Amino acid sequence: MTLGDIIKPENIIPELEAGDRWEAIDELVNRLVVSGDLDEAQRGPVLAAVRKRENSMSTGIGFGIGIPHASSDVLRRLVAAFGRSKKGVEFEALDAQPVSLVVLFLVPQGEFQPHLHTLATIAKMLHRREVRQELEDAPDAAAIHAVISKHSHAG
């Protein structure tokens, strides 16, 4: 399964409205509910898990990238959403810079290997400047998904 499979086009937000990481996380979780990848009943527990993880340490890893993630016992499978912000989101990132590319992913409790593998794959892909530039230049969700699919190499 590749990142292009994990991040579906309907779970891509080409322009986040969020101003900070909490709003961005809420917006991305809401997109997963609207698309049917999360049930309404899962929203609260999933948000609590992501908030707990973010409060331990921001997932703003630098270079304008945020990768909020968590595991939860209410999930049956890995789900993910992608958001882009041209204005930047205050994420309390390690480099203290605003974040423009946010990948939220959620895994079922106890799936440690898929969790680490997905995190590493996302970070490796977004660490490449040309990939970030292509994502920032993509005109819409379909084009963003095409960039992710082209550059994703998950196992």
Query: Comparing C-alpha atoms, which of 128, 135, 133 is closest to residue 149?
Result: 135
Query: Comparing C-alpha atoms, which of 27, 36, 35 is closest to residue 68?
Result: 27
Which among 69, 115, 145, 151 is annotated as catalytic? 69
Task: Determine which helix (DSSP H) or strand (DSSP E) holds 123, and give its type and residue range.
Answer: helix 112-127
Helix intervals (H) in 7-111: 21-34, 40-56
Does the annotation mark 69 as catalytic? yes
DSSP string, 126-154: HHSHHHHHHHHH--SHHHHHHHHHHH---
Give the helix, strand, coil percentages of the chain, each rounded to 5.
50, 20, 30
- Looking at the annotation, which residues are catalytic? 69
